[in-house]
């Protein structure tokens, strides 16, 4: 697990994860993205501690064809995925907060936390995290799954959307389901959450029980939606996604009913 405490500023060696605009460098054994005991380049950004040794991120300019981050998330462990998700979000934050959003002055990174600070006006910019709900709507044993026009052909998934300013999480579940498929839901229960660093979402997973089966799709965000039995699902999202974990958890729970 990543220990979320920044190594001292004079530490210049330890684990390193290397990103460029295309993807993430494989470690020398090809098995993951974390390389052990290497000298950090001058621009390295400290992330924390991994197995009690300091870990940093290096953003590199080269155009080497490293595998995209999504491919890595499909094959590395959940613990290593957490480091990768952190590295991706810290890299976006560092890139996007070089100047103060309030007064335009150049910012500087603080040594002891993830904060870009403006000396001119005092504003601090922290890594942005965008909370989203993701929900599997059920009716008895059946699951409501939908496809977005952006999905690979045949792929269906759970419903998801951003939480709006001032909105409670449970209200966002009810609103998104109503907006996207026109279905009213009764009981809503929390499942678990997952960081989704594209670029900075925090997915909060819920089960939602529909009070009726009639579907009315919006035709924009959703290209099709339908009820599926646990025994005959369509093509589903990859197993590391919280969407798939919601679906698999429900299918296991109703398998003996
Ligand atoms: Zn400022």
pLDDT at 70: 92
Higher-pLDDT residue of 1 and 227 is 227
- Whether the pLDDT of residue 127 is over 80: the answer is yes
Q: What is the average per-residue pLDDT within 99-112? A: 95
CA of 165 to the centre of ligand 1 (A): 24
Q: What is the average per-residue pLDDT within 202-231? A: 94
Task: Name the percent of the chain lying above pLDDT 90.
Answer: 91
pLDDT at 227: 98
Q: Check for a shared fold between 2-95 and 130-254.
A: yes
Q: In the chain, what is the straight-line distance between the N-terminal and C-terminal CA atoms, in Å?
A: 37
CA of 132 to the centre of ligand 1 (A): 29
CA dist., res. 229 & res. 217, Å (int): 19
- Spatial contact of 199 and 249, defined as CB atoms under 8 Å apart: no
Strands (E), 93-248: 108-109, 116-117, 124-125, 130-139, 142-147, 159-162, 185-196, 201-210, 224-228
| DSSP reduced 3-state for 239 | coil
- Whether the pLDDT of residue 257 is over 70: the answer is no
Query: Using one digit for the tens of pLDDT, what is the confidence trace for 159-177?
Result: 999 999 999 999 999 999 9
- Spatial contact of 248 and 242, defined as CB atoms under 8 Å apart: no
CA of 98 to the centre of ligand 1 (A): 11
- Spatial contact of 163 and 172, defined as CB atoms under 8 Å apart: yes
Query: Using one digit for the tens of pLDDT, what is the confidence trace for 243-254?
Result: 999 999 999 999
CATH class of 2-95: alpha beta
Query: Using one digit for the tens of pLDDT, what is the confidence trace for 128-153?
Result: 999 999 999 999 999 999 999 999 98
CA dist., res. 161 & res. 179, Å (int): 10
CA of 97 to the centre of ligand 1 (A): 11
Domain residue spans of the chain = 2-95, 97-128, 130-254
Name residue 39's beta-bridge partners.
Answer: 13
- Whether the pLDDT of residue 219 is over 90: the answer is no
- Spatial contact of 160 and 133, defined as CB atoms under 8 Å apart: yes
CA of 124 to the centre of ligand 1 (A): 8
CA of 117 to the centre of ligand 1 (A): 8
CA of 105 to the centre of ligand 1 (A): 5
Query: Using one digit for the tens of pLDDT, what is the confidence trace for 26-72?
Result: 999 999 999 999 999 998 999 999 999 999 999 999 878 999 999 99
CA of 167 to the centre of ligand 1 (A): 29
CA of 129 to the centre of ligand 1 (A): 21
Mean pLDDT of the chain: 95
Question: What CATH number has the domain spanning 130-254?
Answer: 3.90.79.10
């Amino acid at each position: 697990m990543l220990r979320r405490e920044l190594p001292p500023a004079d530490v210049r060696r330890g684990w390193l994860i290397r990103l460029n605009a295309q993807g993430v460098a494989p470690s020398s054994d090809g098995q993951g993205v974390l390389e052990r005991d290497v000298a950090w380049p001058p621009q390295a950004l400290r992330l924390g501690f991994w197995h009690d040794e300091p870990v940093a991120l290096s953003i590199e300019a080269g155009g080497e064809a490293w595998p995209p981050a999504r491919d890595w998330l499909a094959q590395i462990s959940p613990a290593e995925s957490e480091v990768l998700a952190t590295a991706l979000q810290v890299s976006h934050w560092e890139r996007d907060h070089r100047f103060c959003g309030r007064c335009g002055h150049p910012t500087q990174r603080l040594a002891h936390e993830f904060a870009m600070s403006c000396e001119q006006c005092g504003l601090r910019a922290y890594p942005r995290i965008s909370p989203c709900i993701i929900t599997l709507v059920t009716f008895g044993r059946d699951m409501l799954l939908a496809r977005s026009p952006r999905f690979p052909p045949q792929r269906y998934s759970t419903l998801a959307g951003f939480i709006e300013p001032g909105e409670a999480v449970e209200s966002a579940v009810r609103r998104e389901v109503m907006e996207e498929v026109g279905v009213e839901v009764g009981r809503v229960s929390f499942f678990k959450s997952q960081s989704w660093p594209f670029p900075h979402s925090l997915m909060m997973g819920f089960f939602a029980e529909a009070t009726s089966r009639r579907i009315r799709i919006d035709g924009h965000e959703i290209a099709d939606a339908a009820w599926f039995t646990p025994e005959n699902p369509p093509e589903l999202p990859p197993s590391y996604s919280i969407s798939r974990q919601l679906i698999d958890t429900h299918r296991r729970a109703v398998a003996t009913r």
